[in-house]
Structure 1
């Protein structure tokens, strides 16, 4: 790994990428960005910030769409793409399923999902949309390239079942089914916009890449209470996969040291990734067989005083008030203001001086005299036990 880039050099690289993207209709492939920073030594979070900086400059970042891989999928040969590493959870069966062309006629829209009214209504609606033949798809795609919005809309509607088929595979990962479909539909729209019928592959195969990218990006951004950068998701996936592999090989959960050795990372880095990968627990989580208690009932609040501490605090306050009662009224007021004994907000000499319309030096003298009185052994004995 190369040395971490200096800020100026980093910005130059980003600008170079943006210049290249502007020459390509303000778009660039993610693979080109990753290649540009491959030897940069940037962390996952820093790399994610680089991607956001590029996006903030109105540059559209395309997922890695390999035309050769698409043709392999149509031919029935599975080939992993760099995007597979970005899936929020490892899904080894996905490529096997994806290697077969999805038959939209055979898609059972209700299989494997809940049948709540909004879901059923949506699935019923898209189920009425007729599918396209290869000839119709090609003709509509040509018209779409010529700016025909109606043709673009027809291509989108004819492939909504594809989104449902893919969205089913990601249920139970922190987002509702309809939210997954919504994100997948956004990916489908982008796929239709970029589809070129002259490339020789079907829209459904090409759009699959965009749908998956949109869904997995949404899961990384929205599924967790605390967002994990997309590049860190990739690292978490690799670690989880290695953890499962070692568990099968060793017959027990691998230690941090064993994981670090197999992942070629430091133990501190592995522990950091584990910490990031942890899901936060809700304080409302039921505890016990009868579910009559919540987790929050058993979490100690460090800011709450124990009964003993509370009694001591009350007694200390009473003794302090008694000590201050031995002072002259002005001396007592100066000490109270200087140390914030009533409101917890200590004042400066100048602030107290303005209160009494005297100089800060006069306040310092009054304070010093009052403190000498309070330090008298006879008086200070009253609170000495509280300070030991």
Structure 2
């Protein structure tokens, strides 16, 4: 390499070390695609410097020259609805792990070795974040998770379906073929297809733009029967309805107490209430309006007594 070429290469790498942040995804991808590729000889030289001398500058050159690979791999996983910037970030972590473990003595290019690490890191991120309840746990389930979508698209293409809406479910023959190819049970394919077909549900939605409260499943999924505050309030209501009412009635004179009991607390066998204002008025020899006044005064006195009791 001539001196002028070396100076140009160093200038290019200096600009590369100041890549735009992932928040500006288009600018980041554009900058990554302008980074120079390493020749096999340069890659070997940098890899040996990293292995033998722990040269961080060599590590940076190896990582930066393969960032475009991470961008390319991330595009394969856009169908899971996760931000590409996050996929790239996780893939970059895998790339750095690959660079750290890469041994130039094996005689393979870094791109072949790093591909496994990049995909593995992206896979883990998808499994952690694609569903609130994790879909895949065993190795076979993970294989099925990442292959079912692409295989299903292949079946649709073979059948000549131009649109996913034409046929969303797998046929019995397709399920059997998928189970054989992926070495899993037929029931596992059916279960994973059902889980993947289910949409996400927002349990606690944000309020609407007009300020109205948004209704979500959390409203009827929440069990407040054993919530401490609800239990205390329930116990207080029960105590007021029994001991509190009894204590409030004790503050009344005999006539006021009987009027309140007849008007509000008495229930006959046929479901009807107690005596009317006119019946009580006839019994005490006063007007119905007077009975009403006594009732109002008694209820006011009881409310004060209940407030003090609470």
Q: Which has the larger radius of gyration?
A: 2
> Counting helix residues as a fraction of each chain, which structure ranks higher?
2
